[in-house]
Amino acid sequence: MEGLWDCEAGVRLLAARHAPLTDTTRERLCHLRDDPIETAEVRAAALTRLAGATATARP
């Protein structure tokens, strides 16, 4: 989970793909997805995780 805040894009990418989805990580993934200075790969990974989380969320 700490990897979502790392200074290295590769670490953030790995974390965006694999960090457990909690309220905190979802909030950080939203930030990564919307950050215009984040790498395209990290933004795409965050978007994919959030889309998957929405699709599998239970009411």
| pTM (two decimals) | 0.86
pLDDT at position 34, please? 98
Alpha carbons 58 and 3: distance in angstroms, whole number: 26
The position carrying tokens 């590769």 is 10
Q: What is the per-residue pLDDT for 12?
A: 98
pLDDT for the residue 57: 54
Task: Evaluate whether 12 touches 42 at the Cβ level (below 8 Å).
Answer: yes
Task: Say how far apart CA 59 and CA 42 lie, in whole Å.
Answer: 28
Which pLDDT tens digit goes with each residue over 3-57?
Answer: 999 999 999 999 999 999 999 999 999 999 999 999 999 999 999 999 986 655 5
